[in-house]
Amino acid sequence: MAKPGKAENTLVLNAGSSSIKFAVFNSQLEEKLSGIAAEIGGASFLRVAGDDTAIPFIDHRAALKAILSALAENGFPVSSMRAAAHRVVHGGRKLTAPVRINQDVRNEIAACSPIAPLHNPHNLAAIDTLTELQPNLPQFASFDTSFHSTNPDVATRYAIPKMMETSGIRRYGFHGISYASLVRLLPEVSDEPLPSRLLAFHLGNGASLCAIKNGQSIATTMGYSPLDGLTMGTRSGGIDANAVLRLVEDNGLERTKAILNHESGLLGLSGGKSDMRKLMLDHTADSDFAIEHFCYWSLRHAGSLISAMEGLDAIAFTGGIGENAIGVRARILRGLEWIGARMDPDANHRNATRLHGETSKIAIWVVPAREEEMIARDALSLLAA
| Cα radius of gyration rounded to whole Å, the chain | 21
> Is 288 a known active-site residue?
no
Tell me, letter by letter, the H, E, C secondary structure of the chain.
CCCCCCCCEEEEEEECCCCEEEEEECCCCCEEEEEEEECCCCCCEEEECCEEEECCCCCHHHHHHHHHHHHHHCCCCHHHEEEEEEEECCCCCCCCCCEECCHHHHHHHHHCHHHCCCCHHHHHHHHHHHHHHCCCCCEEEEECCHHHHHCCHHHHCCCCCHHHHCCCCCCCCCCHHHHHHHHHHHHHHHCCCCCCEEEEEEECCCEEEEEEECCEEEEECCCCCCCCCCCCCCCCCCCCHHHHHHHHHHHCHHHHHHHHHHCCHHHHHHCCCCCHHHHHHCCCHHHHHHHHHHHHHHHHHHHHHHHHHCCCCEEEEEHHHHHHCHHHHHHHHHCCHHHCCCECHHHHHCCCCECECCCCCCEEEECCCCHHHHHHHHHHHHHHC
Residue 284 near residue 290, CB atoms below 8 Å? no
Residue 226 CB-density burial (10 A; 0-12 exposed, 13-18 middle, 19+ buried): buried
Cβ-contact 182, 371 below 8 angstroms: no
Catalytic residue among 51, 52, 128, 144: 144
Q: Angle at the Cα of 301 (from 298 to 307), degrees rounded to 5?
A: 135
Q: Catalytic amino acids?
A: 144
